[in-house]
Chain A
């Protein structure tokens, strides 16, 4: 069998087949090693796919040899190859990172279940990204969501609020997925096909109420999954009370994939030429994105729990991505893609350093960060660098994102939006700066439960954490890598398929 010909399906098949084996293994190191190998392999496969797409252009893979549009098609262009690489990269770093953190935060008998769920969650996210079939998106979305509900609920061993957080996430997530399915149903009813490329063809350029209603349902459904501003209520608690390693993975990957789906439906399925989409973006998505940027960032400033603070920050950052999308120009979509990728890197690094603090101090509140620079210098260093990246300091990926976003806003003749982006970044300075001040300037607590001398996090956690932090800096300097790929991805999306 020709390996290259089957390559597009392997990032899905390999972890999907590997995940159930975790259940057969005894809890402990074996499933950890297994999941590490599988996630590393998946990352390699995704990187090969990205390389192949860059060199040869869009790949179409007919699942089971049923030619599209009847069969399910995996269609990989630059846009989703980029997201695939992000998701598998984050998984390939978070899974090796997770062992020490997870064994201290969940029931040690459940580690095999944890790694199984982690792999399934990754499969779901990769599947959503890779597929070219609208209904298949829903199926994979639910595969990843179900795994995520279970992963968040595992945090119940430390804090029972994880259970209610997981329950709320389940209710909101299912509502979102069902709205999405209604949207797909309306699309199918009016065109008779489910393949995204074929949907574009059958849809033509004539808008009708069914297509409009379909888009509205898809926007609401995906908005719930992506935590678009007024629909973000599930997110802060889910991120705050999930086990730290889980927070790192879902914060970096899952909402980004949902934003990707929205971009894909806007440009590949609808083609964005419809007037109603322009109106919807100008009068609904843009204000909501701006409101999210300000409201969520402001709430983040007042959080005592650092994980919760970063969760609110995520809601604000989703606002930046959707802002890029709602500007509606090629530069805007490019900025959205750059920020999807870069925000994944920075949030993963931030949540991973919180996991280190959680491992040693058993808290993720501000109190744990007092004088951290002298107690856990490597962890503190990683947190500071990725925190600066979140603000958007030059030489980090955050700066690249903000730069392209600003450029897109000014090019589109919307300077006010540009100023608002800068203003909301200043709020990020406040909430990140607050923690950095605690780390650098405050003395370590001298009394109380947090005063005990602590060691630096184990090497198995520091290495992935610093790889992620280094990626934040490296890709912040070598801007051509992400920006160049995102530019081509945006161009291929905007030019139709």
Chain B
């Protein structure tokens, strides 16, 4: 039972692992170069999903500045979150309540609040990752608490808002940034709970890298097809062996049946 819960609580990691192994298996087991590249792509994509899932804060909205009636927007996104987390409805309500509470605290002492969140997160995350019997709250955000101190941002500040809030949350030891928090804290009107934007940004970069790798890999496959007339790995090997040793396989001396085009 504990094991089952352990598995279900971490469903995002299981998805990541299954995808990753699928990709890796394809790269290793398939002889077709294009299939290898696609396997590589799946492998990379699984890592993107891992990054994005650790950046998710339950009930948090996309890290985009939301103008206007904040309360309405927050509710809307809250419902959106419910659709995806049906099994945690009860938790969710409680959490939202908690968040409201945090908001109040935040408007008074924003720096200290972030500090607390980080500590709670850190306390949760480390045992949860290693301890089977630990019944942590069952959502993604809590497992990865240290990476995701719930980010809150004042709607009234400008584009620097996210950066500054992140700064406060991530760097509780750097006391010199507290001033920023206070400065913005004074302008708080209402609050939106944001998902951690940083993994998204990182993955945006990684996606570009992945696309470039895929493109170069496929281009190479095209060139290999022009030069060898095939993109099957064993046929390529046969062709190379014939070029080098004059026979298909230097070990048993078998003659080539094809692929020497």
Q: A-side interface residues toward B, CB under 8 Å?
A: 66, 69-70, 135, 138-139, 142, 146, 149-150, 153, 156, 160-161, 163-164, 166-167, 170-171, 174-175, 177-178, 181-182, 185, 188-194, 198, 201, 208-210
**Known A163-B220, A166-B220; contact A185-B149, beta-carbon cutoff 8 A:** no
| CB-based contact A146/B47 at 8 Å | no
- Ordered by A's residue number, 9 sampled pairs between the chains whose C-beta atoms are within 8 Å are A69-B170, A70-B166, A70-B171, A160-B224, A163-B228, A170-B216, A171-B217, A178-B43, A181-B47
Interface pair B206/A201, CB less than 8 Å apart: no
Give chain A residues whose Cβ lies under 8 Å from the Cβ of B50.
Answer: 182, 185
Complex: chain A residue closest to B54, CB-CB: A189
Once the chains are docked, how many angstroms separate the CA of A89 from the CA of B243? 37
Cα–Cα, bound, A139→B208 (Å): 10
By the criterion of a CB under 8 Å from any partner CB, how many residues of chain B are at the interface?
A: 48
Nearest-neighbor residue (CB-CB) of A135 within chain B: B202
Complex contacts, B148 vs chain A, CB 8 Å: 192
Tell me the chain B residues, 169-221 only, with Cβ under 8 Å from chain A: 169-171, 173, 198-199, 202, 205-206, 209, 212-213, 216-217, 220-221
Name the 4 nearest CB pairs between A and B, nearest first: A160-B227, A209-B130, A189-B147, A142-B209
Q: A160-B228, A209-B129 are in contact. Are A153 and B223 (CB under 8 A)?
A: yes
Is the pair B217, A170 in contact by a Cβ cutoff of 8 Å?
Answer: yes
Q: Is A208 touching B220 in the complex (CB atoms < 8 A)?
A: no
Contact B221 A178 (CB under 8 A): no
A175 to B240, CA, bound (A): 24
Question: Are B129 and A208 neighbours in the complex by a CB distance under 8 Å?
Answer: yes
CB distance from A243 to the nearest CB of B (A): 15
Q: Give the one of A161, A178, A181, A201 with max B CB within 10 A.
A: A178
Nearest A residue to B217 by beta-carbon distance? A170
Which chain B positions have C-beta within 8 A of A160?
A: 224, 227-228
8 Å CB contact of A185 from B54, B126, B173, B213: B54
Q: Which residues of A contact B166 (CB under 8 A)?
A: 70
Expressed in whole angstroms, the Cα–Cα distance for A198 and B51 within the complex equals 20
State the main secondary structure of chain B at its contact with A. Answer: helix
What's the least CB distance linking A363 to chain B, in Å? 14
Residues of A within 8 A of B246 (CB): none
- Distance to closest chain A CB from B203 (angstroms): 9
Chain B residues within CB distance 8 Å of chain A:
24, 27, 33, 36-37, 40, 43-44, 47, 50-51, 54, 118, 125-126, 129-130, 144, 146-149, 163, 166-167, 169-171, 173, 198-199, 202, 205-206, 209, 212-213, 216-217, 220-221, 223-224, 227-228, 236, 240, 243
Known: A192-B147, A201-B173. A175 touches B40 (CB 8 A): yes
A-side contacts of B118, CB under 8 Å:
192
> Which residues on A sit within 8 Å (CB–CB) of B220?
149, 153, 163, 166-167, 170
**A208 in contact with B44 (CB, 8 Å):** no
Residue of A at shortest CB range from B125? A190
- Nearest-neighbour CB distance to chain A for B48, whole angstroms, equals 9
Contact B209 A156 (CB under 8 A): no
Q: Which of A139, A174, A209 contacts B44 (CB 8 A)?
A: A174
What is the distance, in angstroms, from A75's C-beta to the closest C-beta of chain B? Answer: 17
Taking CB as reference atom, which chain B residue is nearest A179? B47
Residue of B146, B173, B223 near A163 (CB, 8 A) is: B223
For the complex, what is the distance from the CA of A208 to the CA of B130, rounded to whole Å?
8
CB atoms of B146 and A192 under 8 A apart: yes
Residue contact B40 to A171, C-beta cutoff 8 Å:
yes
- A333–B36 Cα distance when bound, in Å, is 38
A175 in contact with B43 given A69-B171, A185-B51, A185-B54 (CB within 8 Å)? yes
CA distance A191 to B122 in the complex (A): 8
Give A194 to B55 CA distance when docked, in angstroms. Answer: 14
Chain A residues contacting B146 (CB-CB under 8 Å) are 189-192
Kindly state the separation between the CA atoms of A175 and B31 in the bound complex, as whole angstroms: 17
* A146 and B130 contact, Cβ closer than 8 Å, known pairs A135-B202, A175-B27: no
A146 touches which one: B163, B202, B216 (CB < 8 A)?
B216
Question: In the assembled complex, which residues on chain A have CB atoms less than 8 Å from the CB atom of B163?
Answer: 66, 70
In the assembled complex, the Cα of A455 lies from the Cα of B118 at a distance in Å of: 71
CB distance from A337 to the nearest CB of B (A): 29
B205, A139: Cβ atoms closer than 8 Å = yes
Q: Given A142-B213, A193-B170 in contact, is the A171-B27 Cβ separation under 8 Å? A: yes
In the complex formed, the residue of A with least CB distance to B27 is A171
| In the complex, chain A residues whose CB is within 8 Å of the CB of B217 | 167, 170-171, 174
CB distance from B40 to the nearest CB of A (A): 5
Query: Chain A's nearest CB lies how many Å from the CB of B174?
Result: 8
A70 proximity list for chain B (CB < 8 A): 163, 166-167, 170-171
Please, which residues of chain B bring their CB within 8 A of the CB of A185?
Answer: 47, 50-51, 54
Residues of A within 8 A of B24 (CB): 175
A138: B residues at CB distance < 8 A: 206, 209
Contacts of A174 in B (CB 8 A): 40, 44, 213, 217
Chain A residues near B209 (CB-CB < 8 A): 138-139, 142, 146, 177
**Are the CB atoms of B236 and A164 closer together than 8 Å?**
yes
- Cross-chain contact B170 with A146 (CB below 8 angstroms): no
Q: Judging by beta carbons under 8 Å apart, are B147 and A171 in contact? A: no
For residue A142, which residue of chain B has the nearest CB?
Answer: B209
A161 with B240, Cβ < 8 A, contacts A156-B227, A181-B47, A208-B129 known = yes
